[in-house]
Amino acid sequence: MGIYDTLNDKQQEAVYYTDGPLLILAGAGSGKTRVLTHRIAYLIEEKGVSPWNILAITFTNKAAGEMRERVDKLVGFGSESVWVSTFHSMCVRILRRYIGLLGYDTNFTIYDADDQKTLMKDVCKLLQIDTKQLRERTLLGVISHAKNELISTEEFRLQAGGDFMLLKEADVYEEYEKQLRSNNALDFDDLLVKTVQLFQTQADVLASYQNRFRYIMVDEYQDTNTVQFELVRLLAAQYRNLCVVGDDDQSIYKFRGANIKNILNFEEFFADAKVIKLEQNYRSTGNILNAANEVIRNNNGRKEKFLWTDNGEGEKLELRQFDTAYDEAEYIVSDIKEHVDRGDCTYNSNAVLYRTNAQSRMFEEKLVTANVPYKIVGGVNFYARREIKDLLSYLKTVDNGRDDLAVRRIVNVPRRGIGLTSINRVQEYAASHEIGFYEALRGADLIPGIGRGVKKLESFAALIEHFKADAENMSISDLMNEIIEETEYIESLEAEDSEEAKARIENIDELMSKIAAYEEACEDQDEPATLSGFLEEVALVADIDILDESTDYVVLMTLHSAKGLEFPHVYLAGMEEGLFPSYLSATADDPDELEEERRLCYVGITRAERNLTLTCARKRMVRGETQYNRMSRFLKEIPIELISVEETLKKETAKEQVKYDFESAKQAAYRQAKQAFKAQAFTAQKPVRQFGKPAKGGLGYEVGDRVRHIKFGEGMVANIVEGGRDFEVTVDFDRAGTKKMFAGFAKLEKL
C-alpha cells in the first residue's frame, strides 16, 4: 500500500491537484496537516519538483515543527531543502539578507510587546500626549492596524483630514516609526510590512524569491490579514501554484487584524481556483461534531460544510449549571481529580477553556488546594520575565548597540550607582545631537551636568565594549556566562535571599539550557549558532510553542489560545450571556461581532476528542460587581438529544439537583428573574428613611418601572434597598442580565 492510499478520497484529490490556485476548506480535525505533508511528498516524488522550490507557511513555530518532522519522515533525503516556516520567521530570513536595501542594518532587533510599550511611553512623553485621553495601548493598536492594512505614516496623516485626535495619532505613528528606525529595530508587524515593501521596491529580489518558491502552501489561511495576503500574492504571482488551507468557521483573530474575506473571497481573487472540502473528522465523536455543526450553522458569513466522523456517537455532552463561579471551579477540579484517581485518564488529557484570562484565577486556587498540577497558557511569557529580559538586553546591546531600549534597561542593572538624573541627561544629549543612547554613553565626558557619574557611565560602556570584543570569538553560552559573572547578576539575586530571587535564578538556569539547546540544534543542522539567530528565535516564540505535551499537568487557557490543539477531555467554562458571548459582542450593531464569538465557541467544542463538559454559573463576580447572567445562547443552539441533563440544573428553591426538561431550561434564567421580581416587589421590607435622605420616589423610578442605563441598555427595576448613603438598585436588563448597582452611580433614566 502506497502512502497516498491511506488518505480518503477528498484528501487524495487535494494532494493530486498541483497546478494553479487551490482552496482546501478543511474542517476541524479533518487531517489538513496530513494533506499538506503528503502534498509536499507528492510534488517531490511523483511530480519531480525540487524541494528547493517548495514553501510551506504556518502560523506557529509548533505547527511548523510538526510539519517539518512529518515531511522529513515522508520524503527523507532532500526534505531539508523544503522551506517550512511561520510568516514572521520567513520574513526575518529574507530581511536579514536584504534589509540593507531599505536603509536598516542586518543585525536589527525585534521588539516584543513589552519593548513596544516602553517605546510608546517614550513617544508619548516626548510628544506630551495625555495618556488618559489617548492610552498607550490604544495607540499601539492603531499603529498595528495601520501596518496590517499597509497604511504608511503619510497615508495615515492624509486619511486623518482635519480630525484633531486622528492627527495626534498620526504624530505618534510618525515618531514611533522614527524611534524604531533610529534604534535599528522592527516590531512584529514590521517584519511583514518591510518584506512587502522590499518586494514592491526591489523587483530583482522579488523575482529571485518568485523563481525559488514555485509551489506555495499556506496553512490556517482564515487567519491571514491584509499584509500577509499581499505577501503571498506577490510571491505566487509568477507561477500561481498557490494552495491555501483553512476553515472560515475557525476565523477567530479579527482583533489581531485577521480578515475572513481572504478565505471567503478566495475565488474572486483567483478566478480559476479549485475548491475542495475536507469534512471527515478524525478527532472527535459524532455527538461533539453534531453539537459543533448545529452551533455554527447559525452564522451567515460562512462557506457551507458539515463535519462527520466514523468514530461513533460517543458520550453525550455534559451540561452543568451552578449557583456561583466558585461552585463551577470546584466541580471541574474535583471531576478531573476523580477521573485521574480512578485511572481513567492523566492530568494532561484534560483542558479547561474559558473566554477571558480573568477566569483562570478561580481555577488556579482550586487546583492548588486540590494539589493538582497545572499550567496556564497565556500567562507571563518566560521571555517576558524581568531577569530574562535583563540578560537578553545585555545580549541585544552586544549584538546591536543602536537598540536604545536595551541599553537603558541595563545601564544600572545590577545597580552600579547610575542615577535616573544621569540617565535622563544622557538621553537628552543623545536626542539633541541626534545620536543613539549608547553612542552618547561612550562620550559621557562630553555631556554637561553629569558630574561624578561620568566614571560610572564610562565603566559601563567599557564593559559592553569588552563583551562585544569577546563575542566575536565566543559561543553564545560562554558569552552569557561571562556577562553573568562580570556583572555579578546572580550574586545580586543571592543577596536578596528570598524565594522570589531563588525562582529568578532557576529561570536564568533555564535560559542557559535554552541557549545550549539552540547551539546543539544549529550544530545538528550544520548551521552557525549566531547571537542574532538566537535573539531572533527568542523574539518569535509564542506561548503555545512552549506547551510541553509530555508533562502531566492540566492545561488552562483561553479559547483563543486553544486553537489548533486537541484534548481527550475538555471543560468549556463560563457559558453565560454577557461573558460568552461577551456583552459587547452580543449588543454590537455589527452582526459580524457575534458571528466571531460563535466561531470561537465552535473552536472550543471541536477541541474535544472524547468528552465535552459545558458549565455556567447563575452569578459571577466581575470587576467587583456580582452579575446574574442567563445561560449562553450557544448552549441553546445545541439540540437536547446531544446533551446529558441529569442532575444538571438546580431550581432556586431546591437544594438537591433534579432532572430538568431542557426546553424549559432555555427559559429558566428568564423565569427565575421574573419570579424573583414578583416576590421582591411585594415582600421586600420597606427601608427606614434617614434624616435628609430622599424617598425612593425621589429617584424618579420605582420597583416595576422600565429604566435605561447608558451601558447596559433597557431593563426593569426588580428591587430597591437602602444601602447606607445611597440606594442599591437591582435591575433585570433585557440583554445584560441582572445587575446590582448604587443609584447615585447608575444614573438610571425612567422610560
Residues marked as catalytic = 32-33, 219-220, 250, 607
CA distance 748 to 746: 5
CA distance 223 to 248: 9
- Give the SS3 label for residue 352: strand
Residues sharing a CB contact under 8 Å with residue 196, sequence separation 6 or more, in sequence order:
150, 227, 230, 231, 234
Is 707 within 8 Å of 716 (Cβ atoms)? yes
CA distance 614 to 177: 46
Residues sharing a CB contact under 8 Å with residue 380, sequence separation 6 or more, in sequence order:
none
Strand-pair partners of 363: none
Q: How many CB atoms lie within 10 A of CB 744?
A: 12
Q: How far is CA 356 from CA 425, 571, 580, in A?
A: 43, 14, 9
CA distance 28 to 376: 23
Between 153-160 and 164-182, two packed helices, what is the crossing angle to 10 degrees? 170
Strand-pair partners of 277: 25
What is Dmax (Cα atoms) for the chain? Answer: 93
Nearest to 180 by CA among 191, 169, 170: 191
Is 35 within 8 Å of 11 (Cβ atoms)? yes
Is 116 within 8 Å of 89 (Cβ atoms)? no
Compute the radius of gyration of the chain from its Cα atoms: 29
Is 599 within 8 Å of 252 (Cβ atoms)? yes
Is 10 within 8 Å of 278 (Cβ atoms)? yes
Q: How far is CA 260 from CA 239, 266, 276, 604, 637, in A?
A: 25, 10, 18, 19, 23
- One-character DSSP codes across 109-159: EEE-HHHHHHHHHHHHHHTT--TTTS-HHHHHHHHHHHHHTT--HHHHHHH
For 301-405, list the strands marked E by DSSP.
317-324, 350-354, 374-377
Nearest to 157 by CA among 148, 139, 149, 169: 169
Tell me which residue has cell 503619510.
154
